Amino acid sequence: MLKNKKIVLGVSGGIAAYKAAALTSKLVQSGAIVKVIMTESAKKFVAPTTFQALSRQPVYTDTFDEQDPSQIQHIDVADWADLVLIAPATANVIGKIAGGLADDMLSTTLLATEAPVYIAPAMNVHMYSHPAVMNNLKQLDDWGFRFIEPGEGYLACGYVGKGRLEEPESIVRVLEKEYEQEKILKGKKVLITAGPTREKIDPVRYFTNPSTGKMGYALARQAASMGAEVILISGPVALDTPKSVDRIDVTTADEMYEQVVSRYADCDIVIKAAAVADYRPKNTYEQKMKKSPGDYVVEMERTKDILMELGERKEHQYLIGFAAETDEPERYGREKLAKKHLDAVVINNVASEGSGFGTDTNASLFITQKGKEMTYPLMSKDELAMNILKGTVEELESESP
């Protein structure tokens, strides 16, 4: 799967840099073309000539050492790459990436590249668990960086715990597996909705729900990484736009309806992960309502059922809905699948621990109209998104002549 893939390997300054030499050799043996970028600290552990001999390619160590005057070196390398792998990734280089710093060849290249970036951390167990490092890793995860988790075991500092760079063979297997599914959605146009909607009462009050948009954004991130053209229609959330995703912001159920329906005809796959309000205040006020004695009753009216209308209009689209339930989730999910003419439904029991709104994990039952059922135990929302999309591709392939 890595044959002729152009890989930039970033080596930062930790004792695990010696493993990067073996990793370079394994990648080359797998058919990849590898160019290595070393930080100044990495040169204290392994000489650049080692990587040059193993890769049979130039090794880059200095932003200003322009090897070809007709090109800007870090831009050229950034554009050349099919993927970038940082191994080992020290706490320092992770902090630089998260902070947007560009003070050496590796960090400037990382800011310039549009290729997928894989990070393989390696550091002392206490450094790895430090809040600053955890926050930086979370920031990179939100931006769509991919991680090859460190292993547990005896570390060079003498501690035993998590922080050891994953073995070169395992890293190569991860990359091969990723490439196997990398572009399975290439040529597909995918529309995803995410987050809550807000229905205004007056300028300072509105009805909404606890959706944070994390599941929908994970789906958008993974669909883009699989090669799809992704449109993300998002309610109000505090999340960064995933890389290579066209994001459209809306506030109300009506706004989401207009944006979804206007784009529906051109889409191949539509995933309705947003928590759209079923009701809105029948009357709204331009000025703030003043507090008065006694109770206050708000009369509500139904919003448009976006998913129902998409099901009725469906032609070639593969339509997936979400069912967030607290009581008899499977029963109500199956009813939704049939009633709204869906191709598949993702059923979440939002009352179960670790699932539902605001969490970084989810557990779901994925049921298709053809009768396929997949139970996904508690896992990260990105992993669940990947499974949902892979299941969708399998369904689409089974329909192909």
Distance CA 109, CA 361 (A): 32
**Residue 322 backbone dihedrals phi, psi, to 5 degrees:** -115, 140
Distances (CA, A) of 221 to 96, 228, 385: 23, 10, 9
Active-site position among 15, 28, 125, 157: 157
Quick one: DSSP state of residue 275?
Answer: B
Amino acid identity for residue 20 in this structure: A
Paired sense of beta strands 318-325 and 269-272, if any: parallel
Per-residue three-class SS string for 191-207: EEEECECCEEEECCEEE
**DSSP annotation string for 209-267:** ----SHHHHHHHHHHHHTT-EEEEEE-S-S-PPPTTEEEEE--SHHHHHHHHHHHHTT-
278 is in an annotated binding site: yes
Nearest to 222 by CA among 203, 244, 247: 244
Per-residue H/E/C for 97-117:
HHHCCCCCHHHHHHHHCCCCE
Give the C-alpha separation, 326 to 349, whole Å.
5
Question: Which residues partner with 8 through β-bridges?
Answer: 35, 84
Tell me which residue of 280, 283, 276 sits closest to 301, measured CA to CA: 280
Name the residue type at position 394: E
The Cβ of residue 396 has, within 10 Å, a number of other Cβ atoms equal to 16
Q: Which residues contact 297 (CB under 8 A, 6 or more apart)?
A: none
What is the rounded CA–CA span in Å between residue 114 and residue 116?
7
The amino acid occupying position 356 is G
Helical H segments across 81-200, by residue range: 91-99, 105-112, 125-128, 131-142, 168-181
On whether 340 is known to bind a ligand per the annotation, the reply is yes
Q: Examine the residue annotation and report whether 157 is marked as an active-site residue of this protein.
A: yes
CB atoms within 10 A of CB 61: 19
Binding residues for CTP are: 278, 288, 322, 336, 340
Residues carrying an active site annotation: 157
Binding residues are: 278, 288, 322, 336, 340
